[in-house]
Amino acid sequence: MGYPAAWILSRSNSSYSRTLILLFILLAFIGKFFAHDRAVYVATMIGTWAAAIFDCMKTLPASVQTSLRLDVPIAFAEKYLPLFDKNLGWLLPALVGFAIGMVIRSSRKGALVPHA
């Protein structure tokens, strides 16, 4: 069947699933710099998912957006998420999540060092 990520990418019409898969691949490549700590993965994915929700709202048909009154959250995302208009609104939240995960990792790492 091949690589699972490649299979999902080939069958996915969703930019969010592609983004998440590519982000996981990128994190896997640079994982040796943070010892593949779970906190880094989780924090990065939380940031990405938060932005992806706004992206999902933006891709809904206009009639659905209107009936669910999604114009306010979409306008919020357009105002506060850089690159949202280019479907890269997930980038800054992912970087912030990555930074938070690294802080969590380093704080735990320091807590595990025995005191002399």
Query: What's the confidence (pLDDT) of residue 15?
Result: 63
Give me the mean pLDDT over the 86-106 stretch.
91
**In which element (H, E) is residue 96 found?**
helix 91-111
CB 78 within 8 A of CB 85: yes
Q: With 50 as the cut, is the pLDDT of residue 25 above it? A: yes
Whole-structure pTM over 0.85, yes or no? no
Q: With 70 as the cut, is the pLDDT of residue 96 above it? A: yes
Q: Looking at this protein, which amino acid is placed at residue 14?
A: S
Give the integer Cα–Cα distance in Å for 80 and 110: 34
Helix axes 91-111, 38-59, angle to 10 degrees: 160
35-92 pLDDT, tens digit each: 889 999 999 999 888 888 898 888 889 999 999 999 999 999 999 999 888 888 888 9
Give the integer Cα–Cα distance in Å for 18 and 57: 17
Average pLDDT, the chain: 82
What dihedral angle (degrees, nearest 10) is formed by the CA atoms of 69, 71, 76, 77? Answer: 110
- 56: tokens are 């999902």
The residue ranking higher by pLDDT, 109 or 50, is 50
